[in-house]
Amino acid sequence: MTEDSPEISPLAPEAFPELPAIDGVGLADCEAGVRHRGVTDVLLAKLAEGTTVAGVFTKSKTAAAPIDWCRSILPLGTAGALVVNSGNANAFTGRQGADAVREMAIAAAAACDCTADHVYIAQTGVIGEPIDAGKITRVLPDLAERLGSDWAGAARAIMTTDTYPKGCARTADIGGVEVNIAGIAKGSGMIAPDMATMLGFIFTDAAIPADILEIMLTRSVDKSFNSITVDSDTSTSDTVLAFATGAAGHPTVAELGEAGLAGFRTALDEVCLDLAQQIVRDGEGASKFVAITVAGAEDVIAARRIGLAIANSPLVKTAIAGEDANWGRIVMAVGKSGEAADRDKLAIAIGGIAVAEAGAVVPGYDEAPVAEHMQGREIEIFVDVGVGDGEATVWTCDLTHRYIEINADYRT
Amino acid sequence: MTEDSPEISPLAPEAFPELPAIDGVGLADCEAGVRHRGVTDVLLAKLAEGTTVAGVFTKSKTAAAPIDWCRSILPLGTAGALVVNSGNANAFTGRQGADAVREMAIAAAAACDCTADHVYIAQTGVIGEPIDAGKITRVLPDLAERLGSDWAGAARAIMTTDTYPKGCARTADIGGVEVNIAGIAKGSGMIAPDMATMLGFIFTDAAIPADILEIMLTRSVDKSFNSITVDSDTSTSDTVLAFATGAAGHPTVAELGEAGLAGFRTALDEVCLDLAQQIVRDGEGASKFVAITVAGAEDVIAARRIGLAIANSPLVKTAIAGEDANWGRIVMAVGKSGEAADRDKLAIAIGGIAVAEAGAVVPGYDEAPVAEHMQGREIEIFVDVGVGDGEATVWTCDLTHRYIEINADYRT
């Protein structure tokens, strides 16, 4: 992948952000030729002894081999290394796939001086092709010799059809000590030609027990990675992992409710949300970034489901691509979500302008300012379904010709 | 709509079939100018006294006004008239919309010599625009004066963005008496520019009590109209109604289990399935007709859900449009359905050719014959998920550039 691909998403941020080195985390990447030549495709992160870990994985019933592996070792709560490859998702590869993961873990453990059950593995790329683990295991010793903090390189090594690398960092204060959080992620679409996977990796030097980290990560992911959608498809390999090295030196956090943890939780939320939104902005063929807020639902979960029903509707997504303020399709999508909604109290605003209230179009509705909003790159939709206090925001992109090109025409 | 539109679906049947007159059913249609000029847009069906009725409606939580109306009168079990208009769905139109439906029912009752609570109403077209009921009520007396059996005209009057009218007929034997079934339907897409609605109307001269008709219709609809999908969106107005005039003269059916009813039930299944498949063949932008059979699921409902997850996946649908035998996307879609599946027993066949077995690609897989199948207009996908005996088939079409054009670009 070249630095400035001509096809870079029009919604991409200007540049990869500055990410600080995280004490206790060493990074290295290289070209291992997993599938293509000329692209970096393996990332190794070595983690200081005692690093705690938390993880959230795809709900797919056909999850890939590395997902099974990570789930099996997660109860140990500590991690020594992370290996990620792009080019092959090692999904639907049977026993051979499970063997390949074990081989990679053993090789990384040897290179990083830990045990295999402390090696986390994530893989992204083509589904259903047997993977040659040797291509990856043979580069690990060299990677372990040249660890550094090249976040942009790390973010680039995990890309598949992403058009730009994705990273985000924040700082927080725990007990008077500054701690750092740095994260990288990859999308995109749902995903592209033969590809699977949304991956997110978050590293911090804070000292947080695994069980508390797990609760915080799950909540942050619900409001971020689990609140985005490009095309409704669920990957076999979606993985978000958080690692806390404890090197910042503050007393280890004892409880989730600690006052001193509030700033960290906000920072973690922000990193997850920023990365998740970067994934949407790199959605396949995306030309518009869409925020959909649903209020008045029975609860937060219902609000998110209604939001995702709107965000996943091909009719809503194509209307947005066509810059059409087609609120009738929003009504339809609310109706199909299956969640409680009061048709006769439904209110809709687009770009902050009231379009419908009390179950009907607003009197004297003037489409002109709404149409102008639809011409922008950032679209805001608000829906109140009139039955309760549940509120949630989800993010998506539009459905364009380019999506079809990427996913149907790529063989030509 | 002209007889041979240049944009007629490439998957359309050769011609509108011959449908017999149904004793006790009188049809008439006209141009009422509901939205556009030069198209027929109102259908009146007058039904003989004592006609029984059954109905299945959209599960949308934002259902349109005529759905509320039909649901409220359905418990009476008998019908005197059916009025259908295209051009305006009367959905999300508040109290005004409910008033308009009542006005239409009263006018049709006067014209057809029945009571308003025996008048069924279905409406399709734009969502959220107040409807002028007067345009429809004023044509009803004239329609009631010139009733006939022009099924093609009836099927055409209910079209919105459909590219061809849809009809189907069968005969059956009940107690030695031949009975007729005739049905018409409209799609299409999910649906088109601002449009909503899948409608199906089935008429028979059999003598069947409403409660038995309701059970038979519900079962037939599950295997047909509820087993198709174009783009996963659910309309505010989906309606299937069945009317039985009893004019054929056989003794009224007494029980669902009657041996003599088996042939009728098969014929009803066939009419529903044929109409439903015609709707898929007219899906917006469809270039391929896809049958997806799922076996080995926990039960029939689980099998149908998995089938619909595959059928609704944008990645699967774009792969089919691209004539790509991308079975990895099928694995992904099985996984996201949420239904039980054994990844390591999963088997997939495309066009009758085994692609994957026991959770991995078949040894020595040769893509050539599968690729050839993908180039045809009729695509067959079979998936065994390896956990039980549940089996179901669903039907869909591919997702093409034309879909995006119809739904995003129609303003230009």
| pLDDT at residue A4, as a whole number | 38
Compute φ and ψ for B277, nearest 5 degrees: -70, -35
Return the residue matching tokens 């045990």.
Answer: A115
d(CA A398, CA A400): 6
* Distances from the Cα of B141 to the Cα of A309, A334, B29, angstroms: 43, 38, 12
Q: Hey, of A194, A324, A343, which one would you mutate to test binding to chain B, going by the most B CBs within 10 A of its CB?
A: A343
A197 catalytically annotated = yes
Neighbours of B132 (CB within 10 A): 13
For residue B332, give the nearest of A236, A326, A399 by CB distance. Answer: A236
Across the strands, what pairs with B42? B30, B85
**For the segment A163-176, what is each residue's pLDDT rounded down to a tens digit?**
999 999 999 999 89
On whether any CB of chain A is under 8 Å from the CB of B324, the answer is yes
DSSP three-state, residue B2: coil
Return the residue matching tokens 């005209």.
Answer: B153
- Chain A and chain B share a number of CB contacts under 8 A equal to 217
Mean pLDDT comparison of A61-65, A324-328, A395-399, B349-353, highest-scoring range: B349-353
Contact A94 B344 (CB under 8 A): yes
Contact residues for A363 (Cβ-Cβ < 8 A; gap 6+): none
On whether any CB of chain B is under 8 Å from the CB of A360, the answer is yes
> Which run of H or E residues covers position B290?
strand B289-297
| pLDDT at residue A191, as a whole number | 40
- Contact present, A334 and A382 (Cβ < 8 Å): no
d(CA B183, CA B178): 17
In angstroms, the separation between the Cα of residue A8 and the nearest Cα of chain B is: 21
Q: At residue A110, what is the residue type?
A: A
| pLDDT at residue B285, as a whole number | 86
In angstroms, the separation between the Cα of residue B170 and the nearest Cα of chain A is: 33
d(CA A289, CA A13): 12
Across the strands, what pairs with A204? A181, A244
d(CA B161, CA B163): 6
| pLDDT at residue A61, as a whole number | 82
d(CA B226, CA A141): 56
> Which run of H or E residues covers position B195?
strand B195-196
Biggest alpha carbon–alpha carbon distance for chain A: 71
Query: Which of these CATH numbers, 3.40.50.720, 3.10.20.340, 3.10.290.10, 3.40.50.20, describes B289-408?
Result: 3.10.20.340
Nearest to B173 by CA among B258, B116, B293: B258
In angstroms, the separation between the Cα of residue B228 and the nearest Cα of chain A is: 16
Considering only residues A19 and B285, tell me which one the structure prediction assigns the higher pLDDT.
A19
Q: Is the pLDDT of residue A235 over 60?
A: yes
d(CA A234, CA A197): 8
In angstroms, the separation between the Cα of residue A383 and the nearest Cα of chain B is: 13
Nearest to A205 by CA among A149, A248, A269: A248
Measured between beta carbons, which residues in chain B are less than 8 angstroms from residue A344?
A: 94
**How far is C-alpha A329 from the geometric centre of its chain's CA atoms?**
27
d(CA A235, CA A89): 10
Nearest to B312 by CA among A232, A188, A410, A190: A232
List the beta strands (DSSP E) in B40-162. Answer: 42-47, 52-57, 81-88, 119-126
* Both tokens assigned to B79: 């019908």
| pLDDT at residue A16, as a whole number | 96
DSSP three-state, residue A73: helix
Instruction: Walk along chain B (412 residues) and give the pLDDT tens digit of each residue.
Output: 333 344 888 899 999 999 999 999 999 999 999 998 999 999 999 999 999 999 999 888 888 999 999 999 999 999 999 999 999 999 988 889 999 999 999 999 999 999 999 999 999 988 888 999 999 999 999 999 999 999 999 999 999 888 999 999 999 999 899 999 999 999 865 543 344 578 999 999 999 999 999 999 999 999 999 898 876 666 788 899 999 999 999 999 999 988 889 999 999 999 999 999 999 999 888 899 999 999 999 999 999 999 999 998 888 999 999 999 988 889 888 988 889 999 899 999 999 999 999 988 898 899 999 999 999 999 999 999 999 999 999 999 998 888 888 777 654 3
**Catalytic residue (one of A197, A204, A236, A396):** A197
Distance spanning both ends of chain A, measured CA to CA? 20
Domain limits, chain A: 25-281, 289-408
* Both tokens assigned to B233: 């969106």
CB < 8 Å from B in window 327-346 of A: 327-329, 331-341, 343-344, 346
DSSP three-state, residue A328: helix
For residue B59, the chain A residue with the least C-alpha distance is: A336
Which of the 8 DSSP states describes residue B76?
A: G
- Contact present, A294 and A389 (Cβ < 8 Å): no
Under CATH, what is the fold of the domain B25-281?
A: L-amino peptidase D-ALA esterase/amidase (3.60.70)
Looking at B223-299, list the stretches that DSSP marks H as alpha helix, in order from N- to C-terminal side. 262-281
d(CA B340, CA A162): 31
* Both tokens assigned to B207: 């003598």
For residue A237, the chain B residue with the least C-alpha distance is: B332
Neighbours of B215 (CB within 10 A): 13
List the beta strands (DSSP E) in A222-317. Answer: 228-229, 239-244, 289-297
Q: Is the pLDDT of residue A1 over 80?
A: no
Contact residues for B192 (Cβ-Cβ < 8 A; gap 6+): B160, B161, B284, B406, B407
- Contact present, B373 and B284 (Cβ < 8 Å): no
Which of the 8 DSSP states describes residue A260?
A: G
Which residues of B are known to be catalytic? 197
State pTM to two decimals: 0.84
Tell how strand B228-229 and strand A195-196 pair up. unpaired
d(CA B392, CA B330): 16
On whether any CB of chain B is under 8 Å from the CB of A326, the answer is yes
* Distances from the Cα of A187 to the Cα of A3, A46, A69, A281, angstroms: 17, 23, 21, 10
Q: What average pLDDT does chain A have?
A: 91
Nearest to A217 by CA among A283, A151, A275: A275
On whether any CB of chain B is under 8 Å from the CB of A303, the answer is no
